[in-house]
Chain A
Amino acid sequence: MSDKKTILIVDDEPDTLTFFSSLLRDNGYETITAENGDAALAKVREARPDLITLDITMPESSGVRCYRELRQSAEFRSIPVIVITGISEDFRGFISSRKQVPPPDGYLSKPVDEQELVGMIGRLLAA
């Protein structure tokens, strides 16, 4: 069995999926992708990734709901999640909507700096 860590990338934008997949594979990770929240939850159950990057402003099945479900699940709540989104207003709304939910492990704003993303994933997986 491969000792490579698996990262689930969730984003409705195909080019972003290609970008993050290439970047993370180049840095020694396995990657799987999902284009919306429901697909992401299915992939989590199927492959149990080591870390998730999550876009919260997707048209169908919002990332916020996906995040809440992950954190409410005893099985998956320990998987680190990095929230990646376009505007800070969304993030503030997101933060205020999660009263009973702990904050995400990391937060990055688009456009994402690749070194920052790789560095943050490295630190979270080493912890």
Chain B
Amino acid sequence: MDLPYRQYFESMPCYVTVQDRDLRIITANARFRQSFGDFEGRRCYQVYKQRPEKCEVCPVERTFRDGLSHSSEERVRCLNGREVAVIVYTEPVLDPDGRIAAVMEMSTDITEIKQLQDLLSESRRRYRTLFEEVPCYISIQDADLNIVDANRLHRRDFGSFLGCKCYEVYKHRKEECYPCPVRDTFLDGAIHEREEVVTSIRGETMNVLVSTAPIRDGAGNLQYVMEMSTNITQIRALQSQLASIGLLIGSVSHGIKGLLNSLNGGIYLVNKGLENGDQARLKQGWEIVLRNVARIRSMVLDILYYAKDREPQYEPLSPAAVIDEVFDLMLDKARSLGVGLAREVDEDVGSLEGDAKALRAMLVNLVENSLDACRLDSKKSGHRVALRASGQGTHVRFEVADNGIGMDRETREKAFTLFFSTKGSEGTGLGLFVANRIACAHGGRIVLESERDAGTRFLVEIPRERPRKPAKEDQCLTQQGATP
């Protein structure tokens, strides 16, 4: 080798060797000699790796075979025992006839880079684990609200729908929600929070607290938005209960004051009767006291319907009589709204064990919902609500059907949620919630079939015999579907 090239060769900041077809090292540079010592007559793998046989995959051999440059990553051991990670490049050395006389192998020490890479992949793995195992729903969305990544809990409860729209997966909607916290974050790059009601693949509705955060690329451009949703259904259920107690306290306070006033009257008459030895007054006053104590008692029981789970007061009852009572109660309201109310009871309806007052309250709630659905529907005329009861083997089926405004999928899924109402200031969001609670308490269920602009049908199935164990509300899943 000529002098300047020899100098360059010697001072290369990597290990350079030239090898023959037997992989014997013909020559090597200074750095190589420094780290690996004497190489005279020895083969590459003996010097680099202290192994008796050649490596399974050898880039030098490959270059001898095809005349091309090859590379590989290897681990080699220096004289002092240090393990070095190297990246190997090979290049053929040609004789004047153009034949491969030798192969030059150049190995660069990449130990530090390798360590950094290992650290990086370890921390990637750790972040992935965190992302996967965090106990809330995380999705990463692009600017079109497509879910591009989601964590394990999200996939478990909402399915693996990468590439699908957020609102399709979470809410089974066809259109983007408004407002949308992800969209807001794309617009202003800030964190947004919102409460939403979403539906899992198993059909459970849950209240979630949604927080969004921007994800930027290396250049600082907003690339994705992370959406994190925490299930707060239990907290909401608790708050709803408190709020419903508040609502009820408002509405019953007038009644309670009136009853207390009557009770005062009874006590007044009892006292006067005792004072004057007037038996008739005493008796009259005592009757007032008894009557009003009974009324306060029943009012308190009514409040308990809303405030907490109340055990049904079971008695044998006739479904036909329940239908008749509800029909009579609702007829005036239906007439005033111009809605036809019909009743129909199958001959084989039989009897059932249930809480007459509760079942009546449940059907009244459903009929009221249907009447509202007719009132709100301006697209049709000739509105009808039908009230039916039929025997279904071990169950009695009550049915309330209307041809009113109907519900879309989102409304169907939320219909039984406390304080969910589509009626603005006119709805309290209590009625269907309480109806469902009553059906569940009887070990029964409500199936809701509805289609927008076509109408709604509630099918209430109540077992003829009281359940051995009262059903817990969260075990009592309602079913919703489009009208067949």
Q: Which residues of A contact B (CB under 8 A)?
A: 13, 15-16, 18-20, 22-23, 26, 57, 86-87, 90, 109-112, 114
Please, which residue of chain B has its CB at the minimum distance from the CB of A84?
Answer: B261
CB distance from A53 to the nearest CB of B (A): 12
Kindly identify, within residues 244 to 277 of chain B, every residue whose CB is under 8 Å from any CB belonging to chain A.
253-255, 257-258, 260-266, 268-269, 272
A90 close to B257 (CB less than 8 A):
no
Please, which residue of chain A has its CB at the minimum distance from the CB of B289?
Answer: A15
Answer whether residue B281 sits at the interface, using C-beta atoms and an 8 A cutoff. Answer: yes
Interface of A is mostly: helix
A19 close to B265 (CB less than 8 A):
yes
The contact of A18 among B253, B254, B284, by CB within 8 Å, is B284
Contact A111-B288, Cβ < 8 Å, known A19-B264, A23-B268: no
A residues less than 8 Å from B253 (CB atoms): 86-87
Band of interface residues on B: 20 to 34
Please, which residue of chain B has its CB at the minimum distance from the CB of A87?
Answer: B254
CB distance from B42 to the nearest CB of A (A): 102
B260 close to A111 (CB less than 8 A):
yes
B264 close to A114 (CB less than 8 A):
yes
B266 close to A16 (CB less than 8 A):
no
B257 close to A86 (CB less than 8 A):
yes
B254 close to A57 (CB less than 8 A):
yes
Answer whether residue B291 sits at the interface, using C-beta atoms and an 8 A cutoff. Answer: yes
A residues less than 8 Å from B266 (CB atoms): 15, 19
A residues less than 8 Å from B292 (CB atoms): 15
B residues less than 8 Å from A109 (CB atoms): 257
CB distance from A115 to the nearest CB of B (A): 11
B residues less than 8 Å from A22 (CB atoms): 265, 268-269, 272, 281
B262 close to A15 (CB less than 8 A):
yes
The contact of B288 among A19, A112, A114, by CB within 8 Å, is A19
CB distance from B400 to the nearest CB of A (A): 26
B258, B264, B284 interface centre (most CB from chain A within 10 Å): B258
Please, which residue of chain B has its CB at the minimum distance from the CB of A22?
Answer: B269
Please, which residue of chain B has its CB at the minimum distance from the CB of A20?
Answer: B265
A15, A19, A87, A111 interface centre (most CB from chain B within 10 Å): A15
B262 close to A90 (CB less than 8 A):
no
The docked-state distance in angstroms from the alpha carbon of A111 to that of B265 is 9
B254 close to A86 (CB less than 8 A):
yes
B residues less than 8 Å from A20 (CB atoms): 265
B residues less than 8 Å from A112 (CB atoms): 261, 264
A90 close to B261 (CB less than 8 A):
no
The contact of B257 among A18, A19, A87, by CB within 8 Å, is A87
A residues less than 8 Å from B265 (CB atoms): 15-16, 18-20, 22-23
B268 close to A114 (CB less than 8 A):
yes
A-B residue pairs, 10 tightest by C-beta: A19-B265, A15-B262, A86-B254, A111-B260, A86-B257, A110-B261, A111-B261, A110-B257, A87-B254, A15-B288
Please, which residue of chain A has its CB at the minimum distance from the CB of B284?
Answer: A18
CB distance from A29 to the nearest CB of B (A): 15
CB distance from B131 to the nearest CB of A (A): 52
A86 close to B258 (CB less than 8 A):
yes
B253, B263, B268, B284 interface centre (most CB from chain A within 10 Å): B268
B residues less than 8 Å from A15 (CB atoms): 262, 265-266, 288, 291-292
Please, which residue of chain A has its CB at the minimum distance from the CB of B262?
Answer: A15
A residues less than 8 Å from B258 (CB atoms): 13, 16, 86, 110
The docked-state distance in angstroms from the alpha carbon of A87 to that of B255 is 9
16 A–B pairs (Cβ distance < 8 Å), ordered by A: A15-B262, A15-B266, A15-B288, A15-B291, A15-B292, A18-B269, A18-B284, A19-B264, A19-B268, A19-B288, A23-B265, A87-B254, A109-B257, A111-B257, A112-B261, A114-B268
The docked-state distance in angstroms from the alpha carbon of A17 to that of B281 is 14
The docked-state distance in angstroms from the alpha carbon of A23 to that of B272 is 9
In the complex, per-residue mask of B83-124: 1 if CB is within 8 Å of any chain A CB, else 0: 000000000000000000000000000000000000000000
CB distance from A79 to the nearest CB of B (A): 23
B272 close to A26 (CB less than 8 A):
yes
B268 close to A16 (CB less than 8 A):
no
Please, which residue of chain A has its CB at the minimum distance from the CB of B295?
Answer: A15
CB distance from B46 to the nearest CB of A (A): 99
CB distance from A19 to the nearest CB of B (A): 2
A residues less than 8 Å from B268 (CB atoms): 19, 22-23, 114
CB distance from A82 to the nearest CB of B (A): 14
The docked-state distance in angstroms from the alpha carbon of A65 to that of B10 is 113
The docked-state distance in angstroms from the alpha carbon of A16 to that of B264 is 9
The docked-state distance in angstroms from the alpha carbon of A86 to that of B288 is 19
CB distance from A127 to the nearest CB of B (A): 26
Contact A111-B264, Cβ < 8 Å, known A22-B272, A26-B272: yes
A residues less than 8 Å from B263 (CB atoms): 111
Please, which residue of chain A has its CB at the minimum distance from the CB of B254?
Answer: A86
